[in-house]
Amino acid sequence: MINVGIVGGTGYTGVELLRLLVQHPKVRIKAITSRGEAGMSVAELFTNLRGHIDLKFSDPADAKLSQCDVVFFATPNGIAMQQAEILLEAGVKVIDLAADFRIKDVAEWERWYGMQHACPHLVAEAVYGLPEINRDEVKNARLIANPGCYPTAVQLGFLPLIEAGIVDTDHLIADVKSGVSGAGRKAEVHTLHAEASDNFKAYGVPGHRHLPEIKQGLSRVAQHPVGLTFVPHLVPMIRGIHATLYAKITNQIDLQALYEKRYQDEAFVDVLPAGKHPETRSVRGSNLCRIAVHQPQNGDTAVILSVTDNLVKGAAGQAIQNMNILFGLSETMGIQQVPLLP
């Protein structure tokens, strides 16, 4: 059994980790930390877990995380970098669901996240945990930087085009929508029901924190810097990411066949039949990314539609996928849940 600790178990990604991990046949949850809820039963705060877990939240200082095999950080940005090194020295593997180790250029990270990095020497070691690209690196990692929700959907959508070298990588466009759970479980005006419901808006157009992460990943695949316009939007739903991606084609090939071949062996990427349009509800509660490929009017623009659940493939599910790889388990173990409909 894998002994698991979770730091920051009271947010949306934290409870999603719990929901999935209590169903995992090879996991034993040893500790769930929360300063604010220390001493409270997990099932009291998250009643969906009644009958599945009998632990209480513990203060991080008392959690004995060094006795775990792997620790997930489901915390705000800036927390994992304060604690990761001590755990790594104790032989514990670390999977960070926040952004502390995603961006390799530390100065760039500090500019976007507005704080000084506490352990920049670990950034180079951290493996970016998008298994469909870095599976072999994940296998031997100590420290995993779990990708963001927007970057997962966008990178998986663009990946086959860039690998094939058939699009203009100077002018990529990602028009992406997210449900409000992507903002986290905290009280903010813009996510209040009366603000977010019956409303639709773009935000972060001059620049969003996920932009450098996406560009870094796509540039690595392209082996040169890419140009990307990334515009996120907030939509009045709880879960889901919908990415509409545009790229100018420079070499005509069968795009449908390209995507089907690239992802034919990927358990968590589903390429829909030609002409289909994926829905966010078709992946809700699952670790799936569903993709549709279009070339309107047989012109020179590829339009790729990519949908995920931001809390699962965009966060907790992907983190468990990485854990499975790290410990030599079946990659799909514990995360094969069928999406919820309606």
Read off the CATH number of the domain in which 107 is found: 3.40.50.720
Q: Is residue 340 part of a domain?
A: no
Q: Which residues of the chain have pLDDT under 70?
A: none
- Whether residue 176 sits in one domain with residue 133: no
Q: Is residue 73 part of a domain?
A: yes
- Whether residue 212 sits in one domain with residue 107: no
- Whether residue 141 sits in one domain with residue 6: yes
Backbone CA torsion sign across 274, 280, 281, 282: positive
Q: Is residue 337 part of a domain?
A: no
Nearest to 306 by CA among 252, 270, 254: 270
Quick one: pLDDT at residue 185?
73
Quick one: pLDDT at residue 63?
84
Quick one: pLDDT at residue 292?
98
Length of the chain measured in residues: 342
> Considering just the CA atoms, what is the radius of gyration of the chain in Å?
19
- Whether residue 156 sits in one domain with residue 141: no
- Whether residue 254 sits in one domain with residue 160: yes
DSSP structure class, residue 337: P
- Whether residue 285 sits in one domain with residue 226: yes
- Whether residue 158 sits in one domain with residue 105: no
Helix then strand then coil, in percent of the chain rounded to 5, is 35, 20, 45
Strand partners, 102: none
Strand-strand pairing, 241-248 and 172-178: antiparallel
DSSP structure class, residue 338: P
- Whether residue 197 sits in one domain with residue 107: no
Q: What is the CATH number of the domain that holds 206?
A: 3.30.360.10
pTM (two decimals): 0.95
- Whether residue 168 sits in one domain with residue 132: no
Strand-strand pairing, 127-128 and 143-145: parallel
Q: Is residue 112 part of a domain?
A: yes
Classify the phi-psi angles of 294: left when phi > 0, otherwise alpha if psi is within -120 to 50, otherwise beta: beta
Quick one: pLDDT at residue 37?
87
Count the Cβ atoms, other than its own, within 10 Å of residue 330.
Answer: 12
Rounded Cα distance, 261 and 264, in Å: 5
Quick one: pLDDT at residue 62?
84
Q: Are 18 and 9 in contact (CB under 8 A)?
A: yes
- Whether residue 81 sits in one domain with residue 96: yes
For the chain, how many structural domains are there in total? Answer: 2
Q: Is residue 241 part of a domain?
A: yes
Quick one: pLDDT at residue 210?
97
- Whether residue 91 sits in one domain with residue 30: yes
- Catalytic machinery residues: 149
Nearest to 39 by CA among 56, 52, 60: 56
Quick one: pLDDT at residue 67?
94
- Whether residue 158 sits in one domain with residue 302: yes
Nearest to 158 by CA among 224, 234, 219, 104: 219
Helix (H, G, I), strand (E, B) or coil at 28: strand
Q: Is residue 336 part of a domain?
A: no
Q: Is residue 333 part of a domain?
A: no
pLDDT tens, position by position, 128-146: 999 999 999 999 999 999 9
Quick one: pLDDT at residue 35?
86
Backbone CA torsion sign across 178, 184, 186, 188: negative
Quick one: pLDDT at residue 157?
98
Q: Is residue 338 part of a domain?
A: no
Rounded Cα distance, 232 and 211, in Å: 10
Q: Which domain holds residue 215?
A: 150-308
Place of tokens 């169903």: 23
pLDDT tens, position by position, 82-97: 999 999 999 999 999 9
Q: Are 176 and 153 in contact (CB under 8 A)?
A: yes
Rounded Cα distance, 67 and 186, in Å: 30
Q: Residue 226 carries which side chain, given as an amino acid letter?
A: V
Angle, helices 255-262 vs 149-164, to 10°: value is: 120
Classify the phi-psi angles of 207: left when phi > 0, otherwise alpha if psi is within -120 to 50, otherwise beta: left
Rounded Cα distance, 152 and 170, in Å: 20
Rounded Cα distance, 77 and 59, in Å: 19
